[in-house]
Structure 1
Amino acid sequence: MNNIVLIGMPGSGKSTIGVILAKRLGYDFVDTDNLISDREKTTLQDIIDKKGVSEFLKIEGIVGEELNIDNTVIATGGSMVFSDSAMKNLLNGSKCVFIDVPLPEIKRRVKNIDTRGIAMEKDDTLDTLYEKRMPKYREYADITVEVKQNSKIDNVVSKILDKLK
């Protein structure tokens, strides 16, 4: 595979950045959240509500394990990093870019936490998700791009392209 895999918290802009990055590179674009919804024929939130977080994570992992594409920017769901086998497959011959957005900015961006389809247990908050996920994002990242509150998408994409060179 020759892909760029985007990881980061919900609200970090993986999908938006991914579309523009793909256009600039002449790559295809895939959002694994959309693949999960298509596979299950329902929304992410519906899967979490009806099947539970652990079943959602299992489905997400299978989608990541089975993905076999080239020359594609892949925006992963924020919890994909919890499936080591999925990440091993996605990163085979690919570069992993961590979109690092500070927690206060994530909180500002994510207003629909209960309906967005975020894999989180009942007791979880954005704070606890951030705490659990940051070590995994750092573990898998080949490249980290820090995104400030007023960062323009094109500037973030340019930073990624510079670091990929």
Structure 2
Amino acid sequence: MKNIVLIGMPGCGKSTFGKRMAKRLQLPFYDADTVLEEREQRTIKAFFAESEDAFRAAETRTLAYLAECDGAVIATGGGAVKRAENMELLKRGGVVVFIDRKPENIIGCIAGDARPLLAADKQKLYTLYNERIALYRRYADYTIDNNGDFGRVLHELLNIAAKLEG
């Protein structure tokens, strides 16, 4: 089975839905940010203290590693779409699902969150969304709206997985 790769904004639900999907489907789940920190032995915050480019290079190394999985659910970082190379790696053995959630619905979920790009200014979320929305849409094989019912979103994700098995 192909990998199921979840993309979208920070706070859109990639990890939350990814964990639930993987459990239901009895597949391994990988949060790319967690894998990055484990493999690189360095925090994302430390990479960003050096530069965003240092982080993006580590992210690409991590995604290349995860792209080698077979039949896993992978939640990427929100900015993974910024490098075409990342998406080419992930699409080779996976189906990409964009979880689309409006910034105004995300803001309440990331209050007090330690995400480096959003820590100083929650309004930056709107800027990032506007910068990335075209990329999310370009790379997505499927788009799921996550501005309402949690159960419906999970159901749609499981339907996508069922198509891959059939």
Instruction: Name the TM-score, length of structure 2 as normaliser.
Output: 0.86
Question: Which amino acid is the alignment partner of residue 138 of structure 1?
Answer: R
Could you list the runs of 4 or more consecutive aligned residues of structure 1 that deviate by over 6 angstroms after TM superposition? 119-122
Aligned 1:1-165 pairs, distance under 5 A: 2-49=2-49, 51-67=50-66, 68-112=68-112, 115-118=114-117, 125-149=124-148, 151-152=149-150, 154-164=151-161, 165=163
Q: CA RMSD in A?
A: 2.2
Structure 1 unaligned blocks of 5 or more: none
Using the alignment, how far apart are the partners of 2:51 and 2:128 within structure 1?
16
Question: Which amino acid is the alignment partner of residue 155 of structure 1?
Answer: R
Q: Give the aligned length.
A: 160
Using the alignment, how far apart are the partners of 1:52 and 1:121 within structure 2?
16
Percent identical residues: 37
| CA displacement, residues 112-147 of structure 1 (integer Å, 9 cap, x when unaligned) | 35x32348999x811111111111100110111101
Q: C-alpha displacement at 1:43, in angstroms?
A: 2.1
Question: Which amino acid is the alignment partner of residue 21 of structure 1?
Answer: M
Using the alignment, how far apart are the partners of 2:15 and 2:146 within structure 1?
14
Structure 2 unaligned blocks of 5 or more: none
Instruction: Name the TM-score, length of structure 1 as normaliser.
Output: 0.87
Q: Indicate conservation of the 8 Å contact 2:70/2:93, yes or no.
A: no
